[in-house]
Amino acid sequence: MNSFPSLDALSGQIRRGLAAGVVLLVLSGCQISGSSPIDIGTPAPGSLRPGLSSDLGAREHPRVVATYGGVYEDRGAERAVAQVVGRLVEASDDPSQTYRITILNSPAVNAFALPGGYLYVTRGLLALATDTSEVAAVLAHEMAHVTASHAIKRQERAQATELAGRVLGNVVRDPDQARAAIMSSQLSFARFSQIQELEADAVGVRTLARARYDPFASARFLMSMGKFAAYQSAQGNQSSAPDFLSSHPTTPERVQTAVRAARQVGAPGLGERDRDAYLTKIDGMLYGDDPLEGFIRGRSFLHKALGISFTVPQGFVLENSAEAVLASNSSGTALRFDGADLTDFASLSAYMTSGWINGLVRDSVREDTVNGLPAVTASAVTDGWSFRIAVVRIGRTGYRFIFASRTGGADFTRDYQKTVDSFRQLTPTERARLRPLRIKVIRADAGDTPERLAVGMSGVEASRRLSLFSILNQTPPGEAIAAGTPLKLVVD
Instruction: Summarize the confidence of residues 387-409 as an average pLDDT.
Output: 95
**More confident site: 7 or 216:** 216
What homologous superfamily does CATH list for 291-432? Mog1/PsbP, alpha/beta/alpha sandwich (3.40.1000.10)
The DSSP annotation for 107-134 comes to SS--EEEETTTEEEEEHHHHHH--SHHH
With a CB cutoff of 8 Å and minimum separation 6, the contacts of 42 are none
Q: Does the structure show a pLDDT above 70 at 47? A: no
On the question of pLDDT at 407 being above 80, the answer is yes
pLDDT, residue 194, reads 61
Q: Per DSSP, what are the bridge partners of residue 327?
A: 318, 335
- Give the range with max mean pLDDT: 3-12, 213-222, 397-406: 397-406
Is the C-alpha dihedral spanning 168, 170, 171, 174 positive or negative? positive
- Between CA 119 and CA 431 the distance in angstroms is 37
* pLDDT band at residue 239 under the 50/70/90 scheme: very low
- Cβ(201)–Cβ(261) below 8 Å: yes
Which residue, 20, 28, 114, 117, is CA-closest to 69?
Answer: 20
The per-residue pLDDT for 272 is 92
Task: pLDDT band for 451, please (50, 70, 90 cuts).
Answer: very high
Mean pLDDT of 131-144: 92
Confidence (pLDDT) at 163: 41
> Cα–chain-centroid distance for residue 320?
10
Top-confidence residue, 187 or 162: 162
Annotated domain spans of the chain = 38-286, 291-432, 435-491
Q: How confident is the model at residue 430 (pLDDT cuts 50, 70, 90)?
A: very high
| Average confidence (pLDDT) over 67-95 | 89
Contacts of 119 (CB under 8 A, 6+ apart): 99, 100, 101, 102, 111, 112, 113, 139, 142, 143, 146
pLDDT at 4: 39
pLDDT for 113 beyond 50: yes
pLDDT digit string, tens, across residues 243-299: 333 445 556 877 888 888 888 887 777 889 999 999 999 999 999 988 888 989 889
Cα Rg, the chain, nearest whole Å: 24
Strand pairing of 28-29 and 360-370? Answer: unpaired
Quote the pLDDT of residue 365: 97
pLDDT digits 0-9 by tens, 193-209:
566 677 778 888 888 98
